[in-house]
Amino acid sequence: MKPVRRSMILLMLAGTSHTAFAQDTLDIIVPFAAGGATDIVARSFEPPFSDNLGVTSVVRNVAGASATEGTAEVANSEGNPNIIGYEPAGALSIQPSLKDLPYGPDSFTYICRTTSNPMFLMVSQSSDIENFDQLVAASQEEPLLYGSSGPGTLPQLAVAALVGESDLEASHIPYSGSGPAMNALAGDEIQIMADTETILANYDLRPLAVFADHRIEGYEDVPTIGELGLPEMEFAVWQGLVAPKGISQERKTQYSDACKATLESDRFKSFAEKAKAGIAYLGPEDFEAFVKQRYDANKQVLRDVGLIE
Name the residue ranges covered by the structural domains of the chain.
3-116+237-304, 120-228
What is the second-level CATH architecture of the domain 3-116+237-304? 3-Layer(aba) Sandwich (3.40)
Ramachandran sector of residue 257 (left: φ over 0; alpha: ψ -120 to 50; beta: rest) = alpha
- According to DSSP, residue 219 is labeled B
Q: What is the CA radius of gyration of the chain?
A: 22
- Is the CB of residue 114 less than 8 Å from the CB of residue 45? yes
Measured N-to-C along each axis, helices 266-275 and 37-53 cross at an angle, to the nearest 10 degrees, of 170
Q: What CA–CA distances, in Å, run from 110 to 117, 251, 292?
A: 20, 12, 11
pTM of the model: 0.84
Please report, to the nearest 10 degrees, the dihedral formed by the alpha carbons of residues 21, 24, 30, 35 taken in order.
Answer: 110
The string of pLDDT tens digits covering residues 56-102 is 999 999 998 889 999 999 999 999 999 999 999 999 999 999 999 99
> Which helix (DSSP H) or strand (DSSP E) does residue 217 occupy?
none
- Is the CB of residue 224 less than 8 Å from the CB of residue 215? yes
- Is the CB of residue 211 less than 8 Å from the CB of residue 119? yes
Q: Which residues contact 261 (CB under 8 A, 6 or more apart)?
A: 48, 52
> Which helix (DSSP H) or strand (DSSP E) does residue 174 occupy?
strand 170-174
3-state class percentages of the chain: helix first, strand second, coil last, to nearest 5: 45, 25, 30
The string of pLDDT tens digits covering residues 191-208 is 999 999 888 888 889 999
Check residue 21 and give its pLDDT: 57
Yes or no: domain 120-228 corresponds to CATH 3.40.190.10: yes
Q: What CA–CA distances, in Å, run from 18 to 162, 245, 248, 284?
A: 51, 22, 14, 22
Check residue 150 and give its pLDDT: 82
Which regions in the chain score pLDDT beneath 50? 1-20, 22
120-228 matches 3-116+237-304 in CATH topology: yes
Check residue 200 and give its pLDDT: 85
Check residue 20 and give its pLDDT: 44
> Which helix (DSSP H) or strand (DSSP E) does residue 261 occupy?
helix 249-263
Smallest CA-to-CA distance from 184 within 124, 120, 118, 121 is with 124
Check residue 16 and give its pLDDT: 35
